[in-house]
Amino acid sequence: MLKDYSSFGPAYRNFKVKEEVYVPEPAAEFSADNPFTKMAAIRGELKDIQFDGSYTYLDKSLKFKTWHFLVYLALWIAAFPLNRIRYGLKIEGREKIRQNRKLFANGMMTVCNHVCRWDMICVLQAMRYRKAWIPMYAQPFRGKDGFLMKHIGGIAIPEERSGLRAFDQALDELHDQKQWIHIFPESCSWKYYSPLRPFKTGAFNMAYRYALPILPLVITFRPRTGWRKLFSKDEPLVTIHVGDPIIPNLDTPRKEEVARMRDLAHQSMLDMAGIVSNPWPSHID
Q: What is the rounded distance in angstroms from the CA atom of residue 179 to the CA atom of residue 202?
A: 17
Q: Please state whether beta strands 214-222 and 108-111 pair in parallel, antiparallel, or not at all (unpaired).
A: parallel
**Mean of the per-residue pLDDT values of the chain:** 95
Where residue 181 falls (left for φ over 0; alpha for ψ -120 to 50; beta otherwise) is beta
285 pLDDT higher than 80:
no
Q: What phi and psi values does residue 137 have, to the nearest 5 degrees?
A: -55, 140
Query: What would the mean pLDDT of 81-91 be, rounded to a whole number?
Result: 96
Q: What is the rounded distance in angstroms from the CA atom of residue 257 to the CA atom of residue 247?
A: 10
Q: Residue 129 in contact with residue 80, Cβ under 8 Å?
A: yes
pLDDT-derived band at 282, boundaries 50, 70, 90: very high
CATH of residue 169's domain is 3.40.1130
What separation in angstroms does the CA of 17 have from each of 46, 119, 183, 273, 278?
40, 21, 25, 8, 9
| Structural domain of 254 | 43-277
The total number of structural domains that make up the chain: 1
Q: Is 128 a domain residue? A: yes
pLDDT-derived band at 68, boundaries 50, 70, 90: very high
Q: Is 28 a domain residue? A: no
Q: Is 21 a domain residue? A: no
Q: Is 25 a domain residue? A: no
Query: What would the mean pLDDT of 52-80 be, rounded to a whole number?
Result: 95
Q: Is 88 a domain residue? A: yes
Q: Is 17 a domain residue? A: no
pLDDT of residue 128: 84
pLDDT-derived band at 40, boundaries 50, 70, 90: confident
Q: Is 125 a domain residue? A: yes
Q: Is 240 a domain residue? A: yes
